[in-house]
Amino acid sequence: MTRIPRYRRAVVTGGAGFIGSHLCDALIQAGTAVVCVDNFLTGSRDNIAHLLGSDRFELLEQDVNDKLAVDGEVDLVLHLASPASPADYLRHPIPTLSVGSVGTLSALELARDRAARFVLASTSEVYGDPHQHPQTESYWGNVNPIGPRSVYDEAKRFAEAATAAYRREYGTDTAIVRIFNTFGPHMRADDGRAVPAFITRALRGQQLQVAGDGSQSRSLCYVDDTVAGLLAVAASDHAGPVNLGTEDERTVLEIARLVLDLTGSTGGIEFVDLPTDDPARRRPDTSLARREFGWVPRTAVSDGLAATIAWFTEQLTAKAAR
């Protein structure tokens, strides 16, 4: 059962991004006023356009690396700002490192100054190409610190270290959440992640491009479930880290075939080179979230994919009509 946040006013960094925009929606629906901070490096105004008329929503177009220009009461800071897809953080390596370090310190300072609860949206990427399977929160990971993916992996590992240090040094009320392979509406078609790439190519009748032989595994979690988990952690006093994801592990090839089936596409599959340091297996142990918060994913992968396909279909139809 998801707990209802007790917060009056929240700051969401990266609030115009994929998960961030859904989080803004959920907070506003729960009665929380929201300040969305985004510099639109990878976020989209379309994701929050429907919120701009709400008296509980404020957009602050600012780089989180700067001191956050947020006035008034704040009792919750949710730090989601960062490029999150391989295509984005490989395109923006220095901004990715910066937002994970300087940006995290900036968001932590805001939380410290206002005595607010702080929740860091970290990632399963801190586990790297894991030697432990499934991954528990106690696992330290297997990350290549100088590989191309390290700009994201190590930025998030620094962000976790900073969050833990603020808790120890200043008594800041912090929490760390590690998010696994979330998907759903508001993903960009060109963001490079498997699900939007598969869906958009399938809807266009193109071949789906599967990296390697497709035997690498992922555990897909629908965005509504991830947001519910974030809100459950926010409403608690738990420090984390807490894994959020589904234990429904599937190979990338299985996911591609499911997308073909759900879209009715006859485009087929082609195999392409495997990216450097691509994790071979990825599945969270979510027993901590289940035990502490009663949180479990509610959305079956096939149902989540069907909803995401419907959203992308609307987006592509609207784009074609312009």
Q: Which of 191, 143, 206 is nearest to 308 (CA)?
A: 191
Percent of the chain having pLDDT more than 90? 82
Q: In angstroms, rounded to a whole number, what is the distance separating the alpha carbons of residues 246 and 248?
A: 5
Contact 262, 208 (CB under 8 A): no
What's the pLDDT at 274? 84
What is the residue extent of each domain of the chain? Answer: 9-184+221-247+283-298
| Confidence tier at 2 by pLDDT (50, 70, 90) | very low
Q: How far apart are CA 16 and CA 182, in angstroms?
A: 16
Number of helices (H), then strands (E), belonging to the chain: the values are: 10, 13
pLDDT digits (tens, 9 = 90+) for 142-177: 999 999 999 999 999 999 999 999 999 999 999 999
Query: Closest Cα partner for 220 from 114, 297, 146?
Result: 297
| pTM given for the model | 0.93
φ and ψ of 160, to 5 deg: -65, -45
Catalytically active residues are 152
What is the distance between the alpha carbons of residues 228 and 193, in angstroms, rounded to a whole number?
22
243: nearest Cα among 81, 127, 75, 321: 127
142 CB neighbour count, 10 Å cutoff: 13
DSSP 91: H
Q: Are 22 and 229 in contact (CB under 8 A)?
A: no
Q: Taking residues 197-207, what's their average pLDDT?
A: 93
Q: Report d(CA 320, CA 222) in Å as an integer.
A: 27
Q: CATH number of the domain at 9-184+221-247+283-298, please?
A: 3.40.50.720
CA distances from 35 to 73, 105, 135 (A): 11, 18, 33
Cα distance between residue 159 and residue 75, in whole Å: 20
Task: State the number of CA atoms in the 13 A half-sphere of 318 facing the CB.
Answer: 7
Determine the pLDDT at residue 5: 55
Dump pLDDT digits (tens) for 43-91.
999 999 999 989 999 999 999 999 999 999 999 999 999 998 888 999 9
More confident residue, 190 or 17: 17
Task: Name which of 289, 310, 136 is nearest 225 in CA terms.
Answer: 289
Nearest-CA neighbor of 301 among 190, 224, 231, 228? 224
129 vs 278, higher pLDDT? 129
- Given this model, what pLDDT does residue 278 score? 78
Q: Per-residue confidence at 4, pLDDT binned at 50, 70, 90? A: low
Q: Which residues pair with 175 in a beta bridge?
A: 119
State the chain's mean pLDDT as an integer: 93
